[in-house]
């Protein structure tokens, strides 16, 4: 059973990191036109 808990925690952590990366990417995409000018 402990293995399942670790797997769930790892998946949760991974999805959280992925969401943060996606948020940073969308922010960069919005700021890019301002930087390019």
The tens digit of pLDDT for each residue in 9-19 reads 999 999 999 99
Q: CA-CA distance, 18 to 28, in Å (whole number)?
A: 15
Confidence of residue 1 (pLDDT cuts 50, 70, 90): low
- pLDDT tens digits along 19-35: 999 999 999 999 888 87
| pTM listed for this prediction | 0.59
Mean pLDDT over each residue of the chain, to the nearest integer? 90
Residue 37 has pLDDT above 70, yes or no: no
């Amino acid at each position: 059973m402990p293995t399942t808990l670790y797997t769930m925690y790892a998946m949760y952590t991974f999805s959280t990191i992925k969401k943060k990366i996606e948020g940073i990417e969308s922010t960069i995409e919005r700021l890019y036109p301002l930087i390019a000018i």
